[in-house]
Amino acid sequence: MKAKVYVTLKNGVLDPQGRAIHNALEALGFAGVNDVRQGKFIELDLADGASDADIDEMCRKLLANTVIENYRVEKA
């Protein structure tokens, strides 16, 4: 079973990586970029017995820092 976890910074949290990408895009001549936010994308290949609660616990304990980050899980 595969699970995809998307970790993004919460609104209002400063995103220096996103800002660096934004500046680099403008330096390369791309106009019309209003904002860039960078997050993480983690693909888990799990044994078939893994429950939603397990995956949620993995996110809360390790994959996301829930003080400043949100996460979303997609099972496939």
CB-CB neighbours of 55 under 10 Å:
19
In the complex, what is the shortest distance from the CB of residue 21 to its own copies, in angstroms, rounded to a whole number? 7
The answer to the question of residue 14 lying near its own copies (CB under 8 A) is: no
Per rule CB under 8 A, count of chain residues that contact its own copies = 34
Tell me the C-alpha distance between 44 and 27, whole Å. 36
DSSP-derived 3-state class of residue 70: strand
Tell me the C-alpha distance between 53 and 56, whole Å. 5
In the complex, what is the shortest distance from the CB of residue 75 to its own copies, in angstroms, rounded to a whole number? 14
In the complex, what is the shortest distance from the CB of residue 37 to its own copies, in angstroms, rounded to a whole number? 4
Interface with its own copies (CB under 8 A), residue from 10, 13, 52, 54:
54
Interface with its own copies (CB under 8 A), residue from 12, 14, 16, 41:
41
Closest by CA to 46, choosing from 7, 10, 75, 13, is 75
